[in-house]
Structure 1
Amino acid sequence: MDEHWRKPLAASIGAVLTSLVVTPLEVVKTRLQVQVPSATKVPSVVQQCSHYNFSNGLMDTMLPKEQLLRQCKCSAEQLSCAPKPNSVLNTMARIVRLEGPLALYAGLPPTLLLAVPSTALYFTSYELLLSKGKELVPGANHGVLAMLAGALARTGAASVFSPLELIRVRMQSGESAHSFVTHTRLAAKGGVRELYHGLGATLARDIPFSALYWLGIESAKPFLTPRVHIESAQKRQVVVALLAGMSAGAFATVATHPFDVVKTRKQASMYSASKVAASDAGGSALQMLQQVWQQEGFAGLYAGLGPRVAKVAPACAIMIGTYEAAKLAFERGGAAGEGAGNGA
């Protein structure tokens, strides 16, 4: 395999595997939100929202509540006996029994269409930028270079795929049955600003997350490597990547969670049935951050932190671990191929 294709393909494999592992958990969580009344007080804008924010660790999707309710083949009597919110395994088994195993992957195909190329571009760009940074500034701090490379790589990937993400979300909103081409034309009529609607809120969360994530990764690797006692250097590299990915993902998630709250609130406002709430979506990410702080304080800024860490940290570990394992496998395959060629 050509060396230039190894990293993008490794990142693509990681994106697919991460989605396959995390998506069923997100489906179960969303179904529990639909079927089981929550005792947690949520903001009125979220109660009025017509969609659920669905995230499998790589990409967010807005799914209509009505669509989810139609997918639930449970009768009213069955719902009265619904499992408690913490019965994740029971809920998962029930979905498989009533709707089949494919129901655990609702919303996965359209997500992968963007998540795979976006993740491939993101990871490949990061390594390229980090390598170039080391060449241009040999004495620079490695952690600082990692932060800059991560921030720039995420900015580039998000900017490239933002128009397609906007069109995908609109197609999944359930508001119309227009084709992809029709939605593309409608978005293009609004100009560049319309095509990149919502990019600011996304970057406000993703840029600091990526900077802190890669800082955590590059800082954790030299710390963990001598402490992971595995004879095989390649296996040790993968295990270190898994541990570094989980710890860095948890750290970045906690640090940037207020920005995720803002992004979710803006999405909820956009899909709210309330005109007043919908009008709030027009404000900047910073304005909404200040609004949440003034109205709800620290608790509002960190609402939902536990479930997000429980989802994002393992997703980060699976992604970076698979990425490293795939790269090593491709390198071994390439070396074996070269050896066979030289022997011939």
Structure 2
Amino acid sequence: MADKQISLPAKLINGGVAGLIGVTCVFPIDLAKTRLQNQQNGSRLYTSMSDCLIKTIRSEGYFGMYRGAAVNLTLVTPEKAIKLAANDFFRFHLSKDGQKLTLLREMLAGCGAGTCQVIVTTPMEMLKIQLQDAGRIVLNIKKLMPQAVTPEGPVELKSPTAMQLTRQLLKEKGIAGLYKGLGATLLRDVPFSIIYFPLFANLNNLGKRGVDGPAPFYVSFISGCIAGSTAAVAVNPVDVIKTRLQSLTRGSQEDTYSGVTDCIRKILRKEGPAAFLKGAYCRALVIAPLFGIAQVVYFLGVGELILSYLPKRNN
């Protein structure tokens, strides 16, 4: 039997569509996750995910829950496209004559996908975290100093925009500024993909119709949810470290970190091991539907359908 060729453009479209739908659905929970992970014992504003979302709506309005969404929606298409297409690419080339992949080869394919995606993931997460956490920083400042005063008079504290943050980072630190936390991102995304893709593939195979038949869409959705939430919780400690490293603006009573090792040491000393699980349930709630939706779009073949309507070029 001839190997089935991968339609890369279709996979890229599937990943992009899935990312846009998924991010729109779960972004408020992701914002709560970032703020919960960033708050330290000396500056606690939120007690839970629901408390965080309620206080965000009160202080920043409904659309405050979507701070940083524009960055995510802009970059999630290439990020998800690279992740899903790279995994497909590596699985295809690691398979021998169309035979089923071994678990080790499935993990290698996931490792390759996780490594490729950080090209887009790191700057996307960097800007997103700055924007998501800006409201928490402003609230902290207002608690200590209700109104900022300059020689010209009182000044209303405002959160920066994505463009302002990007310009500032590029001006002060160049392109490297957008890649702060790259090591932590690799430490999170590579293990995530090593766990997620083999787990999803094996769960999805359990629901297949016959030997060669595809799994029903609901099986793909449930498999994506289970695999996504499992992998998300497993790598949450590294996600906490990455979030702390990529948050450049901190409250006056909050620690700053020089690197991964320094971050681990300070968190353990001042907050204890439990701090590495901050936002774990939020992250599971974000990742489960995100990857469930992604896999449904991917396996329904939305990209293939779109490409089928485009005029074909004659050779």
| 1:186 counterpart (171, 183, 193) | 171
1:5 aligns with 2:9: yes
Equivalent-residue separation in structure 2 for 1:143 and 1:211 (angstroms): 10
Could you tell me how far apart the structure 1 residues matched to 2:287 and 2:121 are? 21
**2:25 pairs with one of 12, 21, 44:** 21
Contact kept, 8 Å, 2:57 with 2:65, in 1: the verdict is no
Q: Does residue 255 of structure 1 match 2:234?
A: yes
How far off is 1:141 after superposition? Answer: 4.8
Paired letter, 1:186: K
Distance 2:121 2:66 in 1: 23
- The aligned amino acid for 1:271 is T
Q: CA RMSD in A?
A: 4.3
Give the alignment partner of residue 252 of structure 2, picking from 268, 271, 274: 274
Hey, what does 1:309 align to over in structure 2? 284
Report the residue type matching 2:304 in the other structure.
F
User: 2:41 is matched with which residue?
Assistant: 44
Match of 1:128, SS state, is helix
Displacement, 1:299? 2.6
- What are the superposed Cα offsets for residues 252-302 of structure 1, whole Å, 9 maximum, x if unpaired? 12221221222233345x321237x443x2132x44335434555443332
Q: Does 1 or 2 have the higher relative contact order (CA < 8 Å, sep 6+)? A: 2
- Relative distance call for 1:197 and 1:25 in structure 2 (3 A) is closer
Structure-2 change in CA distance of 1:299 and 1:160 (3 Å): closer
Report deviation, 1:113.
0.8
Tell me which residue corresponds to 2:102: 142
Residue by residue, what CA displacement relative to the aligned partner does 1:38-58 show, whole Å, maximum 9, x if unpaired? xxxx63365499xxx9xxxxx
The 1-side partners of 2:258 and 2:116 are apart by: 24
TM-score (norm 2): 0.68
The amino acid of 2:122's aligned partner reads S
Matches within 5 A, 1:89-104: 95=62
Structure 1 pair 290–216 and aligned structure 2 pair: CA distance change class (3 A): farther
CA distance in 2 between partners of 1:164 and 1:187 (Å)? 18
- Identify unmatched segments of 5+ residues in structure 2: 1-5, 50-54, 135-157
Contact 1:48–1:273 (CA under 8 A) maintained in structure 2? no
* Distance change in 2, residues 1:214/1:106 (3 Å): same
Describe the superposition over 1:168-193 as per-residue Cα deviations: whole angstroms up to 9, x where unpaired.
Answer: 6668856767658844641564x64x
Alpha carbons of structure 1 residues 109 and 332: separation in structure 2 relative to 1, 3 Å: closer
Structure 1 contact 48–274 (Cα < 8 Å) conserved:
no
Identity %: 21
Q: 1:45 to 1:122 in 2, by over 3 A?
A: farther
> In the superposition, relative to structure 1, how do residues 325 and 116 fare at CA in structure 2: closer, same or farther (>3 Å)?
same
Residue in structure 1 matching 2:60, options 71, 91, 102: 71
Give the match's secondary structure for 2:250: coil
Aligned pairs for 1:286-301 within 5 A = 286-293=261-268, 295-301=270-276
TM-score of the superposition, structure 1-length normalised?
A: 0.63
SS in 1 for 2:180: coil
| Distance change in 2, residues 1:24/1:185 (3 Å) | closer
Gaps of 5+ in 1: 35-41, 54-65, 73-94, 96-101, 228-232
Q: Deviation string for 1:276-333 (max 9, x for gaps)?
A: x443x2132x443354345554433323322322332222212222222234x72597
Mapped to 2, the partners of 1:289 and 1:256 lie a distance apart of: 14
Residue 69 of structure 1 deviates from its aligned partner by 6.3
Structure 2 Cα separation of the partners of residues 118 and 26 of structure 1: 16
- Describe the SS at the equivalent of 1:13: helix
Q: Does 108-117 or 194-203 show the bigger shift?
A: 194-203
